[in-house]
Structure 1
Amino acid sequence: MNTPRSREGNMVRGTIYLIGYFIIFGARRLAVVDGKVRLWGSILFLLLSLMMLIFYIYRFNRESRYFERSDTTLPISDHFGQLVLITTLIFIVRMVINYIQLAQGIGYTSIQTAYHAGDSAGLFWFFIFSEGIIISTLQQFLTTGFFFNYFFRQNTLIKAIMGVIFSALIFALLNFSSIPLIFISELLIGGLLAWSYLSTQSLWVPVLLAIFNGVLTVVLL
């Protein structure tokens, strides 16, 4: 039960981390009411999110000595072309979805609805911090860092493909989108983030890409 080689232990740890994420997500919703940022709600979100982020980082660093690493992993600089491609694809997916929303009226996500209700500078910067940075970072700890090293440890092609698919699905579910087209776009982006992690074996690569995706999402609100 004490190392990431224990399936039962991994399920318990994963459940605890997931509950922590839901707490932060709920705190974010409490901080914004009727399109306005509430002072005490935002303070609560700030304190809880920083505590949870520190907890995630501490646990990941503590457990990483048990994680399996590929012997053929290349330096991140050798993946520059791939990372540029992933960044470009994320940008294209976000722009296409934004265009379809404006042109076809497919509906808005909960964060878009909340922003349009207030549409203020304070709300914009709060979403940049909460959605663009904090929640995006926590999602990558869950969907790539902990997920792959808990449940898809073997370095095989089949495991990698299955891991990317399930990681993308969890990423899409964690964004709570009920609009089919937006859900599909989240699947695509989640798959790209998982691919970047498997290629580089560095958690901070998908984290930075996820922050780019999150900030871009808020900018396009």
Structure 2
Amino acid sequence: MKKLFNWLGNIAGIILAFASYQILEYFYFFPHQLEKLLHINYVMLIILTAIATILVLAFILYLYQRQLKIENNWGFNQSPHWDGHRLLIMLFSLILIVVCSYTLQILLGVTSQNTSANQATLDKISLQAGGLFIPMVCIIAPICEETIFRGLFFNTFFMKESKISKWLGIIFSGFVFGYMHDPSITKFIIIYWALGCILAWVYTSTKDLRYSMLTHMFYNSLPYLLIILDKMIQNKWR
């Protein structure tokens, strides 16, 4: 009975964590609407956004740490957190996730005019969110999503470490990640599913969320890094 209550508590934790993340997204994606709704200026909004970010991240990470204290058969999040072997896994994953993403985009015929509904929505949001958009997409979102879709997910549905649970967890974690990014289940879910599987593999192979978070951050930041690199090259040859 105790295990059942713990399991139900974990599911409730996932729901609360995801709901908190969705609320936090509103601060970053719709700042001008919040200014009008709360009758505050932009400076005050930034302060509220910073406070909300700290509270939400602290809450989500607290849920993750609490679950690990109750049961941690995998040995997740053990010290020391950094070593050469896991850094090599992360380096390999950075290459793999880029190659896999662009290969699938070519195979599925994805172009700038033919993107997923999720990406189209983000493109529209980026135009009105201003300077708050990039920090959310490149830093906050990877931390929240890795904690929810990898950390809390494995602690809830695949608590016992084994080869079978590892690969089943990778597949199902990847699918849930893909579905949340493409709930219409179009061809684009294949890309999100593959990316989710790679991130889950990084987490289960390193047994530390830091590595999947950094991989996720790099992938989300790649378009902006390429823009910066392109500008640097153009300025060099002027």
Q: Match for residue 166 of structure 1?
A: 172
Residue correspondence of structure 1 range 180-199 to structure 2 within 5 A: 180-199=186-205
Task: Decide which of 128, 138, 151 is 1:145's aligned counterpart.
Answer: 151
Residue correspondence of structure 1 range 68-147 to structure 2 within 5 A: 68-70=72-74, 76-95=83-102, 97=105, 100-102=110-112, 105-107=113-115, 108-115=119-126, 117=127, 123=130, 125-147=131-153
**TM-score, reference length from structure 1:** 0.77
The one-letter amino acid paired with 1:175 is H
Contact 1:132 1:215 in 2 (8 A): yes
Contact 1:32 1:114 in 2 (8 A): no
Give the deviation of 1:182 after TM superposition.
Answer: 3.4
Change (3 A) 1:2 1:180: same
What do residues 174-203 of structure 1 show as CA deviations (whole Å, max 9, x unaligned)?
335758343321111111110011111111
Q: Match for residue 65 of structure 2?
A: 61
What do residues 88-118 of structure 1 show as CA deviations (whole Å, max 9, x unaligned)?
122234545499423xx21352112333x46
Deviates more, 1:51-60 or 1:203-212: 51-60
Give the deviation of 1:5 after TM superposition.
Answer: 7.5
Task: Decide which of 37, 48, 51 is 1:47's aligned counterpart.
Answer: 51
Q: How many Å separate the matches in 2 of 1:19 and 1:209? A: 24
Change (3 A) 1:114 1:59: closer
Contact 1:197 1:203 in 2 (8 A): yes
| Aligned-residue CA RMSD (Å) | 3.4
Q: How many Å separate the matches in 1 of 2:225 and 2:5? A: 41
Give the deviation of 1:139 after TM superposition.
Answer: 0.4
SS in 2 for 1:101: coil
Give the deviation of 1:78 after TM superposition.
Answer: 1.9
Give the deviation of 1:126 after TM superposition.
Answer: 2.3
Query: Aligned residues, how many?
Result: 209
Q: How many Å separate the matches in 1 of 2:4 and 2:31? A: 35
**TM-score, reference length from structure 2:** 0.72
Q: How many Å separate the matches in 1 of 2:4 and 2:101? A: 35
The one-letter amino acid paired with 1:212 is F
Q: How many Å separate the matches in 2 of 1:58 and 1:52? A: 10
Q: What residue ranges of structure 2 are gaps of 5+ in the alignment? A: 34-40, 228-238
Task: Decide which of 195, 201, 208 is 1:202's aligned counterpart.
Answer: 208
Deviates more, 1:24-33 or 1:13-22: 24-33
SS in 1 for 2:188: helix
Give the deviation of 1:18 after TM superposition.
Answer: 1.9
Contact 1:109 1:177 in 2 (8 A): no
The one-letter amino acid paired with 2:6 is S
Contact 1:165 1:191 in 2 (8 A): yes
Q: Match for residue 230 of structure 2?
A: none
Contact 2:174 2:197 in 1 (8 A): yes
What do residues 96-149 of structure 1 show as CA deviations (whole Å, max 9, x unaligned)?
5499423xx21352112333x46xxx83x4222011111111001101111101
Q: Match for residue 13 of structure 2?
A: 13
Q: How many Å separate the matches in 2 of 1:186 and 1:54? A: 27
